[in-house]
Chains A and B, each alone.
Chain A
Amino acid sequence: MAGTNQLSAVFSALADPTRRAILDELAERDATVTQLSAPLPMSMPAVSRHLKVLEHAALISRTRSGKWRASHLETAPLRDAADWIDRFRRFWDPSLDGLDAHLAALQAAEPTDTKEP
Chain B
Amino acid sequence: MHTETPQLAVSRVFDAPRALVFRAFTDPDHLATWWGPSGNSLPRDEIDFDVRPGGFQRWTEVAAAEPDLRVHVYIDLTDVADGALLEGVMHVCGRLQEGFEPFETRFRIEFHDEPDGRTRLEIRQWLPAHLAGPSSQGWLDAFEKLDATLLHLHAATVDVEV
Inter-chain contact A78/B138, CB cutoff 8 Å? no
Contacts of B12 in A (CB 8 A): 96
A11 at the B interface (CB under 8 A): yes
Inter-chain contact B143/A78, CB cutoff 8 Å? yes
A66 at the B interface (CB under 8 A): no
Distance in Å from the Cβ of B64 to the closest Cβ of chain A? Answer: 14
A67 at the B interface (CB under 8 A): no
One of A1-9, A30-38, A44-52 contacting the partner: A1-9
A64 at the B interface (CB under 8 A): no
Query: Pick the contact of A98 from B35, B100, B135 — CB < 8 Å?
Result: B35
CA distance A103 to B135 in the complex (A): 37
Contacts of B141 in A (CB 8 A): 20
Contacts of B123 in A (CB 8 A): 92
A12 at the B interface (CB under 8 A): yes
A53 at the B interface (CB under 8 A): no
CA distance A53 to B16 in the complex (A): 50
Distance in Å from the Cβ of A23 to the closest Cβ of chain B? Answer: 7
Contacts of B8 in A (CB 8 A): 85, 88-89, 92
Inter-chain contact A15/B139, CB cutoff 8 Å? yes
Inter-chain contact B34/A102, CB cutoff 8 Å? yes
Nearest A residue to B150 via CB reads A75
Q: What per-residue 1/0 map shows which CB atoms of B95-138 lie under 8 Å from chain A? A: 00011110001000000000001000101010100111111001
Q: How many residues of B contact A (CB 8 A)?
A: 46
A residues 48-100 in Cβ contact with B at 8 Å: 73, 75, 78-79, 81-82, 84-85, 87-89, 91-92, 94-96, 98-100
A42 at the B interface (CB under 8 A): no
CA distance A12 to B98 in the complex (A): 24
Asked whether A102 and B143 contact (CB < 8 A) given A75-B150, A115-B19, the answer is no
B residues 21-62 in Cβ contact with A at 8 Å: 21, 24, 30, 33-38
Asked whether A12 and B99 contact (CB < 8 A) given A27-B149, A96-B12, A99-B34, the answer is no
Asked whether A103 and B133 contact (CB < 8 A) given A14-B138, A115-B19, the answer is no
B20 at the A interface (CB under 8 A): yes
A17 at the B interface (CB under 8 A): yes
Inter-chain contact A95/B16, CB cutoff 8 Å? no
B65 at the A interface (CB under 8 A): no
Inter-chain contact B138/A102, CB cutoff 8 Å? no
Q: List the interface of chain B (C-beta within 8 A of A).
A: 7-8, 10, 12, 14-17, 19-21, 24, 30, 33-38, 98-101, 105, 117, 121, 123, 125, 127, 130-135, 138-139, 141-143, 145-146, 149-150, 153-154
